A = this chain, B = another copy of it.
Amino acid sequence: MNYHAKEMNPQKIGLLEGFWGNRNQLLSEVIIPYQWNTLNNRTEGVPLSHAVENFQIAAKEMEGKPEGTIFQDSDVAKWIEAAAYSLMHHPNSDLEKNIDELVRLIGKSQHSNGYVNTFFTAKGIEQRWSDLEMGHEMYCAGHLIEASVAYYQATGKRQLMDIMVLYANLIAEEFGPEEQKLHSYDGHPEIELALYRLSEATGNTRYMDLADYFMNIRGSIKKDPTGVTDKEGMVQKSRWLKSDYFLDDKPIREMTEVSGHAVRAMYLYAGVADQYRRTGDQKLWKALTNLWDNLEQKRIYITGGIGSQSLGERFTIDYDLPPDRGYTETCASIGVVFWAWRMSLIDPDSRYADMVEKEIYNGALSGISLDGKAYFYVNPLEVNPRVAAFRQDMEHVLTHRVGWYDCACCPTNIARLMGSIGKYIYSSTDTSVCIHQYISSETEIYLEGEPISLHQETKYPWNEEIQISLKMEHQKRFGLMLRKPVWCDEWTLEINGIACNSYRLEKGFIHVDRIWTDGDTVQLKLEMAVKLFQADSRAQDYCGKAVLMRGPLVYCMEEFDNGPQLQELLIDPESNFELEEEIVQSIPSVHILLDGYRQTIRTNSLYGPMKKTERTKVRLKAIPYFQWGNRAKDQEMRVWIRTI
């Protein structure tokens, strides 16, 4: 691969009225304040976070011991990052004041050697790096670094980044290939991609070097699972905390199957993609594409959920994708976005942006309620609340979103994804502009030093029309790459109102290479037919079943619309599909009405001789998967429905 695209400066991408513009308004007005209150223990009826308090304690402005998970600091970091994105387009001096105060606390909690971590500060920082398997120190560091870069980009304020530079310098002094240094890495990848961001923000390649070191020694030096400290019942799980859980059973360059803890895996692969972009090491690219193929072809749910098993929150084996017991953590879906996006900068293949799309409209997005104040950690594709409430092997499955979690990694993570959604819309090379996502927005892209203004308007994902207009001072020849989504079979393209035939379709992108003029408009129409999707029959849970999709959206059926016992329902593939526009919690939505059957079987006993059972014709209703559980709590939901 020698295509290397550039990311946009997030500051330069403004969201307009539309699906994501509205979501980002909610982020600024509701989600950021809600999460701030929660991190400060001010939300009633949810588990106390203590995350801000922990920094007050570490800064010696409060008595006590840090509480919460050992990686509680990262919640603060991710919130700062989300808030920074929000500030880029929704200035808010009160919010900025809160963050500055937080930054002051973080700074005050920093040790003279640069170390920052509330938990290990309480333990005594001579114990730092003593539990690299599960201590999450560099994971927290990575999130603080990412936050510091985002806040710097949003406000130009360097304080937090300066703090994190000192901390990163400490890490670089204490870890590395030199004999006197520690030869290890964090059990939870995150620092790697953060160090890349820090290098880009500071121009100092030292941090990338360190990231590469961490990635390169993985597999030659392994984590020792017997050294795992026991917090939250980890001892009982120890036989699962094996090397492959930590993604260090083999060197990265030899990896072929996505495995281990799903979030760890995604963050690591994202870091590896960064390393490949820097080094061009073809062994890394080979590993990345093998891993990607394995993910896409064998180990991902149709919603974009990943991690088929609760214990270890992890990947299992090919085609093992139980709809009711998967882990499908919101954070893991977010991690897929990070990795996919980096892949799309390396390889101009739409499969990566298709994956980003899958996540942001389905697997990741289902992790937050429409009102922004309730979250799913686990995003199942099928719930039967009575069963999930009883069965121990579904203990991890909640059938309603909750306001916060004891381990609350997901809420702030989805917030920062929402805040940074603009980043995933465009990329560019010297001679091309690539549109990955169809999201109402405007931006300015520099091609060989010349600015092109790009304005995109669309009601996507509800509506199939996308209107793009270009502004520029001088005519300019460049390639415009428009993603043809994988779900779309028919589409039309007009330029300045005239059907365009001079394009080429390559690796899922429509390439229009021409001399563009100020005022040019592009109209893309992506036919959004309702379609039934099926699975490879090696995925044993899905034989005889199908999923309704429209555009990028996976649909599901809820008890709310279709009554209980959803397993009795059958879709008629010959059905006409009727679209119904509906406002759900002030969000416009498109629901699908279709023909199907309900097959209710009553036998004399629990089992009885098979009879020609009458099917009752019913009109079924499906809603977008990401909206499930918003209208009622603890009801049945199914993505995969039997077909006649």
Contact = CB atoms under 8 A, between A and B. Distances in A.
A539 B386 CA distance: 13
Given A390-B316, A392-B311, A568-B543, A536 B297 contact: no
Contact of A537 (B240, B312, B536, B568): B568
Contact of A297 (B316, B533, B605, B643): B605
A194 B539 CA distance: 49
A413 interface: no
B601 A535 contact: yes
B536 A603 contact: yes
Nearest to A386: B317
A317 B603 contact: no
Interface in A171-211: none
A606 interface: yes
Contacts of A599: 537, 543
B320 A391 contact: yes
Interface in A89-125: none
Nearest to A384: B540
Contact of A534 (B312, B390, B486, B607): B607
Contacts of A601: 534-537, 543
A611 B537 CA distance: 13
A392 B312 contact: yes
A534 B531 CA distance: 30
Interface in A579-622: 599-603, 605-611, 613
Contacts of A531: 609-610
A392 B609 contact: no
Contact of A309 (B296, B310, B393): B393
A487 to B, nearest CB: 8
B312 A606 contact: no
A197 B142 CA distance: 69
Given A537-B601, A543-B568, A567-B540, A532 B610 contact: yes
Interface size class of A (residues with CB under 8 A): 35 or more
A365 B608 CA distance: 22
A283 B296 CA distance: 60
Contacts of A538: 565
Contacts of A393: 309-311, 325, 393
Contacts of A236: 233, 236
Contacts of A386: 317, 320
B240 A392 contact: yes
A296 B533 contact: no
Contacts of A610: 531-534, 546, 573, 643
Given A392-B312, A531-B610, A317 B387 contact: yes
Contacts of A539: 606
A39 interface: no
Nearest to A611: B534
A145 interface: no
A240 to B, nearest CB: 7
A563 interface: no
B536 A607 contact: yes
A434 interface: no
A298 interface: yes
B310 A567 contact: no
A84 interface: no
B320 A533 contact: no
A567 to B, nearest CB: 4
Given A317-B387, A544-B642, A610-B546, A309 B392 contact: yes
A547 interface: yes
Nearest to A571: B610
Given A309-B391, A393-B393, A534-B601, A607 B547 contact: yes
Contacts of A418: none
Nearest to A609: B531
Interface string A521-538: 000000000011111111
Contacts of A392: 240, 309-312
Nearest to A554: B607
Contacts of A607: 302, 533-536, 547
A300 interface: yes
A605 B485 CA distance: 14
A390 B320 contact: yes
Interface in A550-583: 565, 567-568, 573
Choose among A486, A609, A611 the residue with the greatest number of B CB atoms under 10 Å from its CB.
A609
Contacts of A613: 534
A546 B603 CA distance: 13
13 contacts: A233-B236, A311-B392, A316-B387, A317-B387, A534-B609, A534-B611, A536-B602, A536-B606, A537-B568, A538-B565, A543-B568, A544-B642, A546-B610
Given A320-B391, A534-B607, 17 more contacts: A236-B236, A302-B606, A302-B607, A309-B392, A310-B392, A310-B393, A312-B392, A393-B393, A533-B607, A533-B609, A534-B610, A535-B606, A536-B601, A536-B602, A536-B606, A537-B602, A573-B610
Interface of A: 233, 236, 240, 296-298, 300, 302, 308-312, 316-317, 320, 325, 384, 386-387, 390-393, 486, 531-540, 543-544, 546-547, 565, 567-568, 573, 599-603, 605-611, 613, 642-643
Ranked nearest first, the 8 interchain pairs of A and B with the lowest CB-CB distance are A393-B393, A537-B601, A540-B567, A311-B392, A532-B610, A534-B610, A543-B567, A537-B568
